[in-house]
Structure 1
């Protein structure tokens, strides 16, 4: 089969498009013929060989998320059958041969039914982004109906799903985006308000939308740039959930003391197994009920995984980047 494989760590050009042996499922494993694979920042970090959460053995085929049709199953598999349309969310799977490929073999528990109303590309946009959004919104922030939520970078793959989840339970959502196209996507996903990215100069705009109290919850994608501003704008007793960071930042802890607010971190590799499974059960239910509508931002052929990794780290992604597999 055709796949992306890396034999060394490094820049995106270590991602090579080549022919490798087809994987075969063992007990409690499933083989899925893939038609799309999701591209995540985590995979770009893993590619460097410096990611604290995972340094894989080489050669290695990247990819945790994808969607396609079940081709074969190992013994004792009952949750899916050959021919089922499915999405793959294999981040915490014990077995995962990588979704940047025409086929993937992974734990049966990582394979979930994909409703007919969703495309394979939309299915590939779930996995890490959907689990991250669900974890941040429901398990860490514990958002309640009627609360106000500020979602930084709401036009990305995770952000749009977070907007949909928060608005579905009656929260008031403020999203930020840098382009008009991104802002329109945020509004279409259910946000009541959308504005430019929050800076020291635009704090008053957020306060004006929240009766001068600030949002109850902030979902933060770039804490090294925004955390100090978050502490100034958050409502008293509010919660800041950090799900993204690319460096260090100096903050004044007195801002947290004065608000008695909480700063909550989350990283998908750290989610306890039971809570991770709860995330996927919740995501599947929201998908089936029509709450979730994954947005695919750009599509590239599998052979252009190198470019996908360049794009995913450019901070300009709108919706999900997906590799299309013929």
Structure 2
């Protein structure tokens, strides 16, 4: 099969298209999936530069997100059969092969049925950002109906899904964006207050929106100074979740004075630690979101696709840090 191999850490030149052996079923509930599309995420580029989350010999195949068609099943498979369409976040870190490839093998319990209403490209864009947004809002921040919520980078990969999930939960949403076009997009997705962060102080805008109190819940996907400033945008005893590691020199004064609950989110943890039950829980989240997609209550925005052979170009695009929605590799 064809796959993109990462031969060393470094720039995009370390990614190359190669012929490699097709993976084989090993577990009794394994399925062989012909991948039709693979999502590209910032974590892929970070691992390319810094190395895989778990050290192992090169080369490696990156890519956590995938969507495709089941071709073969293990002897004890119960959920899927050949011809079924699936989507999943599995592989791409540690010892598991990623999805920048024509085929992958995955335990069927870590796959969800692809939403009927989504193309393979759209489905491949969804899993990692869905799980990140869902866990951040519902499991870390304990979002409730009526909560006022600040979501950073609301037109980005995680952000545009988080805006929709927050609205589905009955929350009111403010979100930071970098342009008028992105402001229009987040309004369509349900945001009440788009904040053009280049010209507007988001902390002041949020305080005005909330009558001086601050939001109940904030989701940070940018880190650095944005995380530190967001401490002052959350009401006392509120919730702030970040998907990035706070810097060692973070000034926690405002957060401590406000008695904030700080949540750290990494949806890759179940895969990293091999937590079987947690991975099944994540599959349940994807199944639930499939129903939302098919009911027209959720959408995923894909702004650009690349053939598998152009994975390096996709990495260059995502490293700009200003991508709207998601980028996806296609395999036909």
Normalised to the residue count of structure 1, the TM-score between the two structures is 0.92
State the shift of 1:32 in Å: 1.0
Structure 1, unpaired ranges of 5+ = none
Q: Which residue of 1 aligns with 2:123?
A: 123
Aligned-residue CA RMSD in angstroms? 2.2
Q: Which residue of 2 aligns with 1:220?
A: 220
Distance in 2 of aligned mates of 1:44 and 1:175: 25
Distance in 1 of aligned mates of 2:149 and 2:172: 6
State the shift of 1:241 in Å: 0.2
Structure 2, unpaired ranges of 5+ = none
Q: Which residue of 1 aligns with 2:326?
A: 320
The alignment partner of 2:101 has SS state of: coil
The alignment partner of 1:208 has SS state of: helix
Confirm or deny: 8 A CA contact 1:200 1:229 kept in the other structure.
Answer: no
The alignment partner of 2:23 has SS state of: coil
State the shift of 1:275 in Å: 4.0
Q: Which residue of 2 aligns with 1:46?
A: 47
Q: Which residue of 2 aligns with 1:36?
A: 37
Question: What do the CA deviations read for 1:197-237 (whole angstroms, capped 9, x no partner)?
Answer: 38984422121111221111110012212122111111111
Distance change in 2, residues 1:62/1:130 (3 Å): same
Confirm or deny: 8 A CA contact 2:164 2:190 kept in the other structure.
Answer: yes
State the shift of 1:305 in Å: 0.5
Distance in 2 of aligned mates of 1:191 and 1:274: 34
Q: Which residue of 2 aligns with 1:267?
A: 266
Confirm or deny: 8 A CA contact 1:29 1:77 kept in the other structure.
Answer: yes
Question: Which of residues 297, 301, 311 is equivalent to 1:295?
Answer: 301
Q: Which residue of 2 aligns with 1:193?
A: 193
Distance in 2 of aligned mates of 1:276 and 1:193: 34
Distance in 2 of aligned mates of 1:25 and 1:157: 32
Compare 222-231 and 95-104 and name the one that shifted more: 95-104
Distance in 2 of aligned mates of 1:124 and 1:163: 19
Normalised to the residue count of structure 2, the TM-score between the two structures is 0.91
Whether 1:133 aligns to 2:116 is no
State the shift of 1:139 in Å: 0.5
Compare 25-34 and 130-139 and name the one that shifted more: 25-34
Q: Which runs of 4+ in 1 moved over 4 A?
A: 91-95, 245-249
Confirm or deny: 8 A CA contact 2:125 2:326 kept in the other structure.
Answer: yes
State the shift of 1:254 in Å: 2.8
Distance change in 2, residues 1:165/1:273 (3 Å): farther
State the shift of 1:43 in Å: 1.4
Q: How does 1:67-146 map to 2 (within 5 A)?
A: 67-91=67-91, 96-146=96-146
Distance change in 2, residues 1:194/1:91 (3 Å): farther
Whether 1:283 aligns to 2:314 is no
Distance change in 2, residues 1:119/1:37 (3 Å): same
Confirm or deny: 8 A CA contact 2:37 2:330 kept in the other structure.
Answer: yes
Distance in 1 of aligned mates of 2:305 and 2:147: 35
Distance change in 2, residues 1:192/1:161 (3 Å): same
State the shift of 1:82 in Å: 0.5
Question: What do the CA deviations read for 1:101-138 (whole angstroms, capped 9, x no partner)?
Answer: 11111222222111221110111012211111111011
Distance in 1 of aligned mates of 2:160 and 2:134: 12
Distance in 1 of aligned mates of 2:21 and 2:164: 40
Distance in 2 of aligned mates of 1:49 and 1:255: 32
